[in-house]
């Protein structure tokens, strides 16, 4: 059974102000029912009127963090996708505000894998940031921002790593 089967028929809300990005995502997610929005207002209306299995939100241009608050209220797993907001501060903010993943647009070709990671983590009751960390290791961000990219918020990253470790240990004991 292919891993993409978990995506088969899932209703995915994709919000981005760049139509070409929406088209690329739609082509990459043919196994899903893709619903697209190019503005905050359009996305808000869709969230208020339809049910979604997962959401992919751009950060800039569509007020992605405001939309994240709405997807959380609807219990929709949410992946933040960005090019212009690709900063250590936005990684931290995405985690703190409840996103399930944070993906640079230069990784868009792997979007299905990131969505699968999020859905499988939810299904298993594990932290979705562990598979994210495995898929985008620290070395990816070191190439972008330098080796000390986590130093500006050491306390957060230490707590983050400890919470992943503690949750993994708890899950292993439960199994």
Task: Report residue 156 CA to chain centroid gap.
Answer: 19
Q: pLDDT tens digit string along 61-88?
A: 899 999 999 999 999 999 999 887 788 8
- Average pLDDT on 128-157 reads 82
Dihedral sign from CA coordinates of 160, 107, 99, 83: positive
Mean pLDDT of the chain: 89
Q: What is the pTM of this model?
A: 0.88
Nearest Cα residue to 53 out of 15, 104, 17, 7: 7
DSSP-based three-state secondary structure for 54: strand
Q: Give the number of other Cβ atoms within 10 Å of residue 30's Cβ.
A: 10
Question: Can you tell me the distance from the alpha carbon of 140 to that of 109, in angstroms, rounded to the nearest whole number?
Answer: 16
> What is the predicted pLDDT for the residue at 63?
94
E-assigned strand segments in 29-143: 33-37, 54-58, 78-82, 101-104
Nearest Cα residue to 108 out of 130, 128, 136: 136
Dihedral sign from CA coordinates of 3, 57, 69, 60: positive
Q: Which residue has the tokens 């949410």?
A: 78
**Under 8 Å between Cβ of 114 and 83:** no
Q: Give 143's pLDDT tier (boundaries 50, 70, 90).
A: confident
> What is the predicted pLDDT for the residue at 132?
84
* 56 class by beta-carbon count within 10 Å (0-12 exposed, 13-18 middle, 19+ buried): buried
**Under 8 Å between Cβ of 56 and 25:** yes
> What is the predicted pLDDT for the residue at 136?
81
Q: pLDDT tens digit string along 101-133?
A: 999 999 999 999 999 999 999 888 888 888 888
């Amino acid at each position: 059974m292919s891993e993409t089967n978990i995506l088969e028929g899932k209703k995915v809300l994709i919000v981005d102000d760049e139509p070409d990005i929406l088209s690329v995502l739609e082509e990459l997610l043919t196994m899903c029912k893709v619903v697209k929005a190019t503005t905050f207002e359009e996305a808000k209306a869709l969230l208020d009127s339809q049910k979604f299995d997962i959401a992919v939100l751009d950060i800039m241009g569509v007020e992605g963090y405001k939309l994240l608050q709405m997807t959380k209220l609807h219990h929709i797993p949410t992946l933040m996708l960005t090019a212009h907001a690709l900063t250590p501060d936005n990684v931290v903010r995405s985690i703190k505000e409840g996103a399930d993943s944070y993906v640079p647009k230069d990784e868009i070709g792997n979007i299905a894998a990131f969505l699968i990671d999020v859905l499988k983590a939810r299904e298993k009751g594990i932290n979705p940031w562990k598979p994210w960390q495995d898929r985008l290791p620290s070395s990816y961000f070191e190439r972008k921002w330098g080796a000390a990219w986590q130093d500006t918020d050491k306390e957060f990253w230490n707590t983050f790593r400890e919470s992943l470790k503690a949750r993994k240990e708890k899950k292993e004991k439960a199994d």
